[in-house]
Amino acid sequence: MIIPIRTLEAIALQAGQIVKEARKSGPGWVSEKARNDFVTQTDKACEALIKEELGHLFPAIPMLAEEGSGNATGKEPVFFCVDPLDGTNNFVHGVPLFCVSIGLVENGRPTRGVVFDPVHDELYSAIEGHGATMNGHPIAASGRKHLDGAFVATGFPFVQMTRLDLYMAGFRRIVSITGGIRRCGSAALDLCWTASGRFDGFWELGLKPWDMAAGSVILREAGGAAGDLEGGDGFLFGGDIVAGATNELYDELRQLVRPAK
Ligand code: 2AM
Ligand code: CA
């Protein structure tokens, strides 16, 4: 079954409209799912809209979504992978970095993705094999091959602290080589900003599939690379992702995140 990318874009824009209105009126109720892990009425409202639209248009394709209203486990050959609001912590604090993220995963690989940033009105979109766009214009990763002086993004551990030492050891190695590191708080946007050339790379440990599904296909289609710490493809359910503007930068970054034994 063909999933028109325009349809996914339209749904992301509609969900973004909910987020835009909530920026004016407030996020509604806010609840802490786990320590430091928030959900708001707005996350729930966006997910309900996305579920309704996808369920109506593509009833045969299950959905895996962050707030749990979906019917997929992630083991299906084809499923939607949805983060109704990526960057909820930013949203709750009024920091203007969050987005709606809708991916399609086929046989374990993200093949379509749309990410809408309702603050900056930026709509990122990609179909595997057809390139990536932002607001309809083709985008390309920076092409940078080496970390020396590169501008990269990361995410710090925020729930599970068991791998904080591993993370900090990598961070220390990367700080001393790169030209700048940013922590934005929305993995989907970090991947899209690497796709559009703003960042040269990105890494984060312990993410969820909905944080990465759409952004990873957008980055790959913009000419960048995304993978796990071993150089493989297992990031979606493994949770650890390294991304680079090029294969070379991806390899250099992942070896610093966790050097080969
Ligand atoms: P979320 O807002 O959809 O939960 C970056 O660290 C990623 O982790 C984000 O994509 C964000 O997705 C998730 N996250 C959840 N809680 C977080 C927190 N307290 N701080 C930072 N990121 C958090
Ligand atoms: Ca979310």
> pLDDT band at residue 163, thresholds of 50, 70 and 90?
confident
182 lines ligand 1 (CB under 6 A): no
148 lines ligand 1 (CB under 6 A): no
Which pLDDT score is estimated for 174? Answer: 97
> pLDDT band at residue 227, thresholds of 50, 70 and 90?
very high
What mean pLDDT comes out for the span 179-189?
97
pLDDT digits (tens, 9 = 90+) for 41-66: 999 999 999 999 999 999 999 999 99
What mean pLDDT comes out for the span 251-258?
95
> pLDDT band at residue 261, thresholds of 50, 70 and 90?
low
Bridge-partner residues for 78, per DSSP? 106
Do 250 and 241 form a contact (C-beta atoms < 8 A)? no
> pLDDT band at residue 260, thresholds of 50, 70 and 90?
low
Q: How many CB atoms lie within 10 A of CB 181?
A: 17
C-alpha 150/C-alpha 138 separation (Å) is: 23
Q: Which ligand is nearest to the CA of 68?
A: 2
Which pLDDT score is estimated for 48? Answer: 98
Which of 162, 143, 259, 240 is closest to 201 using CA atoms?
A: 143
C-alpha 247/C-alpha 237 separation (Å) is: 21
18 is written with which tokens? 């909910």
Residues 6+ apart with CB under 8 A from 59: none
> pLDDT band at residue 256, thresholds of 50, 70 and 90?
very high
Atom index in ligand 1 nearest the CA of residue 43 equals 3
Q: What is the DSSP letter of 161?
A: -
Atom index in ligand 1 nearest the CA of residue 37 equals 16
32 lines ligand 1 (CB under 6 A): no
Do 144 and 243 form a contact (C-beta atoms < 8 A)? no
Residue 37 CA to ligand 2 centre (angstroms): 9
Residue 259, pLDDT above cutoff 90: no
Atom index in ligand 1 nearest the CA of residue 88 equals 2
Bridge-partner residues for 180, per DSSP? 151
200 lines ligand 1 (CB under 6 A): no
Do 236 and 190 form a contact (C-beta atoms < 8 A)? no
Which of 76-85, 139-148, 151-160 comes out lowest in average pLDDT? 151-160
Which pLDDT score is estimated for 32? Answer: 92
Residue 170, pLDDT above cutoff 90: yes
What mean pLDDT comes out for the span 236-242?
97
Protein residue with its CA nearest to atom 3 in ligand 1? 86
C-alpha 203/C-alpha 89 separation (Å) is: 19
Q: How many CB atoms lie within 10 A of CB 16?
A: 22
What mean pLDDT comes out for the span 218-238?
97
> pLDDT band at residue 27, thresholds of 50, 70 and 90?
confident
Share of the chain above pLDDT 70, in %: 99
Residue with tokens 């070896």: 255
186 lines ligand 1 (CB under 6 A): yes
What mean pLDDT comes out for the span 10-39?
93
